[in-house]
């Protein structure tokens, strides 16, 4: 029998599954969980189809913030994973919601790609361009493909002038077709290091991410589960939100890392991949 202080590992799968709560909805991470790069992981589309066929709700929560919500939907549909915008949350959409809630009617400098800019515009946030960055009262930052020393300086000057600092997420890296690529975190950390100002992080594992995931599923926490490959993002969010937490070993985390995880990020169940979901 598994050590009560350890997550249920693959070798204890039958025991772990019989102790799972009744799940009526899953929140899936995307990269490293259901997909890698522009390819679905083997068997995942079929597994999700089976779950949905049993009436189980499937939603997707990604710390991706460069793509728009519609582009994430298009990507998943292209991978054979049918979904609509109601099924998808990104760290950009969460950041936009939080920004509009905490800083209504304030001018915002958005540092990122189309996914972040569109999300902010859709909730009615007033954006300033780079030439008027000194007017910004809030900086909202995601992964900016055009980030350079000039933009770093502009962002720092804006924060030094008193603007509030919001970040989509702090992921260091993300799984890709050829291994990993740097994610949003390194850019955010560069700004935080230079200014001494830590951002309010709104994507996984924040409380806002958990709350919006549950709203997307339309269920109570005790009937939901989060499935992902990252301890600090997926599992921490799930545990903080009261969701059953399932780690899959198809991305950033190994079994050894799961075994040695602290209580705050220790998954309730560890699976080789999504296809082992009961």
Which residues are known to be catalytic?
29, 31
Residues 152, 190 contacting (CB under 8 angstroms): yes
| Residue 106 falls in which region: left (phi positive, over 0), alpha (psi -120 to 50) or beta | beta
- How many residues in total does the chain contain? 278
Beta-carbon contacts of residue 211 (< 8 Å; ≥ 6 apart):
241
Backbone angles phi, psi at 139, to 5 degrees: -110, 125
Sign of CA dihedral 270, 272, 275, 276: negative
The candidate with the shortest Cα–Cα distance to 100, out of 208, 234, 237, is 208
d(CA 81, CA 77): 5
Residues 6, 264 contacting (CB under 8 angstroms): no
Question: How crowded is residue 22: how many other Cβ atoms within 10 Å of its Cβ?
Answer: 7
Question: How crowded is residue 231: how many other Cβ atoms within 10 Å of its Cβ?
Answer: 22
Residues 225, 213 contacting (CB under 8 angstroms): no
């Amino acid at each position: 029998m598994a050590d009560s202080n350890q997550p249920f590992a693959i070798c204890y799968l039958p025991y772990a599954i019989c102790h799972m709560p009744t799940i009526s909805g899953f929140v899936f991470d995307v990269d490293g969980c259901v997909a890698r790069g522009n390819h679905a992981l083997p068997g995942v589309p079929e597994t999700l189809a089976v779950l949905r066929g049993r009436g189980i709700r499937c939603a997707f929560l990604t710390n991706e913030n460069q793509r728009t919500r519609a582009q994430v939907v298009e990507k998943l549909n292209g991978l054979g994973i049918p979904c609509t915008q109601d099924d998808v949350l990104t760290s950009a959409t969460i950041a936009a919601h939080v920004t509009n809630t905490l800083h209504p009617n304030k001018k915002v400098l958005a540092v990122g790609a189309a996914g972040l800019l569109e999300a902010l515009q859709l909730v009615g946030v007033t954006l300033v361009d780079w030439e008027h960055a000194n007017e910004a009262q809030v900086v909202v930052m995601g992964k900016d493909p055009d980030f350079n020393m000039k933009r770093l300086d502009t962002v720092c000057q804006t924060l030094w002038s008193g603007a509030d600092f919001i970040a989509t997420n702090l992921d260091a890296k993300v799984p890709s077709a050829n291994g990993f690529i740097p994610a949003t975190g390194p850019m955010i950390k560069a700004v935080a290091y230079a200014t001494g100002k830590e951002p309010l992080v709104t994507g996984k594992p924040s409380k806002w991410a958990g709350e919006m995931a549950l709203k997307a599923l339309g269920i109570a926490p005790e009937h939901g589960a989060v499935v992902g490959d990252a301890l600090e993002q997926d599992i921490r969010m799930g545990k903080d939100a009261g969701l059953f937490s399932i780690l899959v070993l198809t991305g950033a985390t190994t079994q050894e890392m799961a075994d040695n995880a602290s209580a705050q990020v220790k998954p309730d169940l560890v699976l080789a991949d999504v296809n082992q979901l009961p």
